[in-house]
Amino acid sequence: MLDEADDIHPLFHGSPKTTEFRKLRKRLVQNVREAVEQYGMIEPGAKWLVCLSGGKDSYTLLAILQELKWRGLLPVELLACNLDQGQPGFPATVLPGFLEKMQVPHRIEYQDTYSVVMDKIPQGRTFCALCSRLRRGHLYRIAREEGCSAVVLGHHRDDILETFFMNLFHGGRLATMPPKLVNEEGDLFVYRPLAHVAEADCERFARALNYPIIPCDLCGSQDGLQRQQVKAILDGWEKNSPGRRQVMFRALMNARPSHLLDPGLFDFAGLTRTGTGDGR
C-alpha cells in the first residue's frame, strides 16, 4: 500500500523512486505506528496540535502523521502549528507558504520570546531552558484555544538518549523525555511519536523530499552546550560500535528497579529470604 505512487498525501509528492527511499519511508511509518500504539496515544476523535519548527525532525513528524491519517491508521484531527518567536532573520513566510501548498490545516502564531530570552539570560549562559519554557507555555495555550487534547513534539530517539545522559552526567538522576506525559495542569497530553526514530533517518527523509529547512539560530549559534557535548560522546561510541545507540535505547525500555538503588521504586527494606539454602 505504501508503494502506490499515485495514492499519497501531498507531503510525499516528488518522493524519490529509489528502493532506498521506499525502505526509509516504510521504516519511519513502522517506527511511528509502533510508538503511537505502544504508548497509547490514540484517542479516536481527538485533535492534535502538531508543533512545526521548520527543522528536519518536525517536517518528518508532520509528514508521517499525515501519512498515517491519509491511510486511515490515525483517527485524529491534525493541526500544524508554528510559533514564530521573533528571532532576527527568521523567514516568516516559508512555513505558511509550505503548509498551504501541502494542504495542511495550520495556525501560525507570533510571540516575541526571543527578546525575553535575550533580556533575561546573562552573557555566556545558554538559552535553551527559558526558551523552551516560554515556547511550551504558548503552545499549551494555543492547544487549549484550538480544542486540542495533545501537543505533539518532534523529539526523536537520539534526543531522548541525549537527554538521558544529560540527566545522568549533570542532573544526578535517571530520567529522559517520555514518549507520553500529561502537563502539570493535567489537561493536555504531550506526545513524542518519533520516540523510536533515529535522527539520521529524519535527516535523510527531509533532505530527500527537499523540505525547506529552517535552522534554529538562537541556540544553534551557541558553542559548548551540554547537549552538543553529549551528542559528540554518543557519536564517538556509535562510530566505534555501530548500533550502540539502539542498544542503549532498548535499555531505557528494559528498566529493572530491583537492580537499581532507588528505594522509592523498589522495597529493599521489605525484601525477605524465602529459600532454605539446602539447594532443594
Please report the pLDDT score of residue 227 as a whole number.
Answer: 83
Question: The domain that contains 191 carries what CATH number?
Answer: 3.40.50.620
Confidence of residue 1 (pLDDT cuts 50, 70, 90): very low
Q: Examine the pLDDT at 230 and tell me if it is beyond 50.
A: yes
Please report the pLDDT score of residue 246 as a whole number.
Answer: 96
Confidence of residue 9 (pLDDT cuts 50, 70, 90): confident
Contact 227, 162 (CB under 8 A): yes
The set of residues, in sequence order, having a beta carbon less than 8 Å from that of 236 and lying 6+ positions away, is: none
Please report the pLDDT score of residue 122 as a whole number.
Answer: 67
Domain of 243 in residue numbering reads as: 16-254
> Average of pLDDT values for 27-46?
96
Residue at 21 is within a domain: yes
Residue at 56 is within a domain: yes
Residue at 127 is within a domain: yes
pLDDT, one tens digit per residue, over 252-272 is 999 999 999 999 999 999 999
Query: What is this structure's pTM?
Result: 0.89
> Average of pLDDT values for 230-254?
95
Confidence of residue 223 (pLDDT cuts 50, 70, 90): very low
Please report the pLDDT score of residue 208 as a whole number.
Answer: 96
Please report the pLDDT score of residue 181 as a whole number.
Answer: 97
SS (H, E, C) the chain: CCCCCCCCCHHHCCCCCCHHHHHHHHHHHHHHHHHHHHCCCCCCCCEEEEECCCCHHHHHHHHHHHHHHHCCCCCCEEEEEEEECCCCCCCCCHHHHHHHHCCCCEEEEECCHHHHHHHHCCCCCCCHHHHHHHHHHHHHHHHHHCCCCEEECCCCHHHHHHHHHHHHHHHCCCCCCCCEEECCCCCCEEECCCCCCCHHHHHHHHHHCCCCCCCCHHHHCCCCCHHHHHHHHHHHHHHHCCCHHHHHHHHHCCCCHHHCCCCCCCCCCCCCCCCCCCCC
Q: Which range is least confidently modeled, 31-40, 67-76, 142-151, 221-230?
A: 221-230
Please report the pLDDT score of residue 63 as a whole number.
Answer: 97
Confidence of residue 126 (pLDDT cuts 50, 70, 90): low
Residue at 159 is within a domain: yes
Residue at 264 is within a domain: no
Residue at 278 is within a domain: no
Please report the pLDDT score of residue 135 as a whole number.
Answer: 83
Percent of the chain topping pLDDT 70? 89
Please report the pLDDT score of residue 41 as a whole number.
Answer: 97
Residue at 35 is within a domain: yes
Residue at 277 is within a domain: no
If we measure between CA atoms, which residue out of 79, 239, 57, 81 comes closest to residue 160? 57
Confidence of residue 155 (pLDDT cuts 50, 70, 90): very high
Q: How many domains does the chain have?
A: 1
pLDDT, one tens digit per residue, over 162-199 is 999 999 999 999 999 999 999 999 999 999 999 999 99
Q: Which range is least confidently modeled, 6-10, 28-32, 275-279?
A: 275-279
Q: Examine the pLDDT at 278 and tell me if it is beyond 70.
A: no
Higher pLDDT, 121 or 173: 173
